[in-house]
A and B are shown apart, each in its own frame.
Chain A
Amino acid sequence: MISLAARDIVHGWGKFVFTGVGLGLLIGVTLIMAGVYRGMVDDGKALLDNSGADLWVVQQDTLGPYAEPSSVRDDTWRRLRTTPGVARAANVTYLTMQLATSAGEVRAMVVGVPPGEIVAPGWPPFLVAGRHITRSHYEAVADLASGARLGDVLKIRRHRYTVVGLTRRMVSASGDPMVFIPLRDAQEAQFLKDNDAVRETRRRNAADPAFDRPGVPGLLAAIDEAQGANPWVNAVLVTLQPGASATDVAQAIRRWTRLTVYTRGSMEAILVGKLIATSARQIGMFLVILGVVSATIVAFIIYTLTMDKLREIAVLKLIGTRNRTIAAMILQQAIALGLIGLVTGRIAATWAAPAFPKYVLLVPQDTLAALCIVIAICVLASLVAIRIALAVDPAEAIGG
C-alpha cells in the first residue's frame, strides 16, 4: 500500500514546506528559550568551575558572594589556611559594573585576585592569549566576550588597566564577562569615593569634636585613614588537600570563624535554585505559551488541510478505504509537519544562538525532548481533523 500522506505532501510540498518553516521558526524560538535557561545554568556552573574553589567562605548568614552581598575581613584567609584539610585560601572580590573597551561599552564582572599567586583559587584556570597578572597594580586579564584585546586599556573607576591576558568562558552567573584585576585595586574600586566626597568626609570629621580632640593627637588622621581604606573582600575561596572532606572542613571553619561556608553542591543549589529560579520560571512560562501556540497552529493547519480534502476523503471511503488508513494519513501529515518544523527550528536556533548577547546552550537532550513534545502536540492537534474526517459520509461522494 502506498503512503497517501507522503504522496499528498510531495504533491503540495510548497504548502507543507512553507508552513513547516513558519512552524519551525516558532520551534526555533522555543529551543532558544530552553537554550537561554541552559546557558544560565551553564554560566553558573562555569563560574563555580572556573573559580577552582572547593569551599566558599562568606559573611555569616548570607548567600554570598554571588547571590547576596558579603563582606569578610581581608586577613581571614590567614586563619583559614591553618585549618586542617585546607590546601589554599585566597581572597576574592566581585564587582559588576559597566566597562568601556575598544569594542564599546560592556557589562562586566570585575574580579579582584591576589597577584602573583596564579595557582590560587579565583584565578582563571587558563588563558587563551597573553599572560597572567604579575604586577600589583593596573594590569588586567579580560574575557574574550568583553571585546577587549591584548594591550587594550580599560578604565575602572579612576584608574586605567592594561589588558595583559585573555580568557574564554569566564563569566558571571548572569553571563557577564569577567575582568580580573589585582586584589588591592579591586578593593579600592569597590569603595573608592571621588575627591569631593573624600574632602567632604574629612571636613565633617574635622568639625566633629569627638574626632578632633586636642588631647589626642593623631586621632583625626587615624580616622581619616580608616575611612579611606577598605579591609574587606567578598569571600575567601578555599581549596582542599587531597582526600579532605569538604563537609568536615566546612564544619570546622564554621565552628571557629563565625562565617558561613558553602560547598560546591550548596553553592550550585544557590545559583540554580535561587539566583536563576525566577528567570527559569519566566522561561518555563514562555515555553508553555509557545507550546500552546505551536499546538494551535498545527491543529489549525491540519484542520484546514483536512477540510480542503473532504471530497477526496468521501471518495476514499466510498471506494473502501479503511478509517484507520485515513486517520493515519492525517496523523502522518501532522507529524511530518512537526518534523519539518523541528528540523527547521533546530537549524534556525543553531544559526541564531551565537547572535544572542547571553550564552545560549543548545543541548541534544532539549532537541530530543522537543521531538517528543512536537510529536505529542501533532498527535493531539490532528485529533480534531481525524474526528472530522472519520465523520465524513461516503455518500457525499455520490451527491444528491
Chain B
Amino acid sequence: MSGAGIRIEGLRKRYGSGDTAVDALKQVDMSVAPGEVVGLIGPSGSGKSTLLKCLGAVIEPTAGRMMLGEHTIYDDGWRVRDLRALRRDRIGFVFQAPYLIPFLDVTDNVALPPMLAGVPNAEARRRALGLLDALEVRHRAAAMPAQLSGGEQQRVAIARGLVNRPPVILADEPTAPLDSARALAVIRILNEMARRYRTAVIVVTHDEKIIPTFARIYHIRDGVTQEERGEGRSIG
C-alpha cells in the first residue's frame, strides 16, 4: 500500500450549527507524495488539531475530499465505513509523547498494530524486530517502555507507526520534548523511513529547530492552508 501518498482537496470542518456554528477548517488543500516529509505549522487555534483529527480519521470533515493513495476516504459527506480499520491499516501515528503501552515490552508495542490486524503473533514480532533494527533500538527489544530513554521511546513509537506500512504517517509535535540533537535525529529517522518505505509523512510542529529541515511546509491560518517552500536543510 505504500507509495501512494495523501491528497486533500477543499476539506472543511464545521462544529455546531446555526448561529453558534464554528468553521474550524475552511479550505484545506494538501498533497504529500510517497517518501516525502512535509511540515504543518500554524498558531494556536488555527485548526491544526482539527486537521490532524480529520487526517487521522478520528473525526469526519463536513465537506471536501481526502484520498490515501488511490483510495478515497472522504468525499463530500461520504466516507469509508470502517474508520477503525482505516486507522489501523493505513495511517501511522507518532505523538508528542511516545504513549507506548506501559505493560507491553518494546517488541509487542511495535507488533501490536499488525496483531490487531490479524497478523499471526510470530510474523508481527518479526516485522517489529525488523523495524527496531532499522531504527537502531533492537537491543532494547525485550525492555519495557519505562526502561527506555526519551529518544529510544520516540524511535519505538515511530516503529509502531510504521509497522503496518501505512501510506501516511501523522506526527504530532514529535520533537517537542527533545533537545536539538535528539529532535533533529527524530526528523532524520522520519526522513529515512519515509524514503525507505515510500511513506508520506506530515509533521505538525511548532519546533523552530526542525522547521528549516522541511522542503515543503503547509501553513494553516484560520482554517485555511497555504503551501510554502521550506529551506530543506540537510540534517547530516
Contact = CB atoms under 8 A, between A and B. Distances in A.
B143 to A, nearest CB: 13
Contacts of A12: 103
Contacts of A395: 53, 56, 58-59
Q: Is the interface of B mostly helix, strand, loop or mixed?
A: helix
Contacts of B50: 400
Interface string B124-167: 00000000000000000000100000000000000010000000
A399 B93 CA distance: 12
B89 A400 contact: no
Contact of A319 (B112, B144, B172): B112
6 contacts: A4-B101, A4-B104, A7-B104, A10-B103, A11-B103, A319-B116
B235 interface: no
B103 A397 contact: no
Most B CB contacts (10 A, CB to CB) among A4, A318, A393 go to: A318
B87 interface: yes
Interface of A: 1-2, 4, 7-8, 10-12, 311-312, 315-322, 325, 393-395, 397-400
B46 to A, nearest CB: 11
A400 B173 CA distance: 11
Given A11-B102, A320-B87, A398-B95, 14 more contacts: A1-B121, A11-B144, A312-B101, A318-B58, A318-B87, A319-B93, A320-B84, A321-B116, A325-B116, A393-B58, A394-B87, A397-B93, A400-B52, A400-B172
A18 B102 CA distance: 20
A2 B108 contact: yes
B108 A399 contact: no
Interface string B53-85: 100101100000000000000000000000011
Contact of A394 (B49, B58, B104): B58
B44 to A, nearest CB: 9
Given A2-B115, A319-B87, A320-B89, A7 B53 contact: no
A156 B50 CA distance: 91
Contacts of A316: 101
Contacts of A398: 49, 52-53, 56, 58, 93, 95, 172
Contacts of A397: 93, 95, 99
B88 interface: yes
Contact of B108 (A7, A320, A394, A400): A7
Nearest to B84: A320
B31 interface: no
Most B CB contacts (10 A, CB to CB) among A1, A8, A399, A400 go to: A400
Contacts of B49: 398-400
Closest 9 pairs (CB-CB, A-B): A320-B88, A400-B49, A11-B103, A8-B103, A395-B58, A315-B99, A7-B103, A320-B87, A1-B115
